[in-house]
A = this chain, B = another copy of it.
Amino acid sequence: MPHVTIQYTANLDPEAKMGVLCASLAEVICAQRDGDGRRVFPIGGTRVMAYPAFAHAVADGAPDRAFVYLNVRIAPGRAARLVAATGEALMAAVRSHFAALFATRPLGITLQIDEGAPAFDAKHSNLHPLFTGK
Chain A contact residues, CB within 8 Å of chain B: 1, 3, 5, 7, 9, 18-19, 21-23, 25-27, 30, 43-61, 65, 67, 69, 72, 74, 80, 83-84, 86-88, 91, 94-95, 102, 106-116, 118-128, 130-131
- Describe A's contact surface by its main secondary structure: mixed
Measured between beta carbons, the chain B residues less than 8 angstroms from A22 are: 55-57, 61
Give the nearest-CB partner of A58 in chain B.
B47
Q: Would B112 and A124 count as touching, CB distance under 8 A?
A: no
Q: Would B102 and A124 count as touching, CB distance under 8 A?
A: yes
Measured between beta carbons, the chain B residues less than 8 angstroms from A44 are: 59, 108
Measured between beta carbons, the chain B residues less than 8 angstroms from A123 are: 108-111
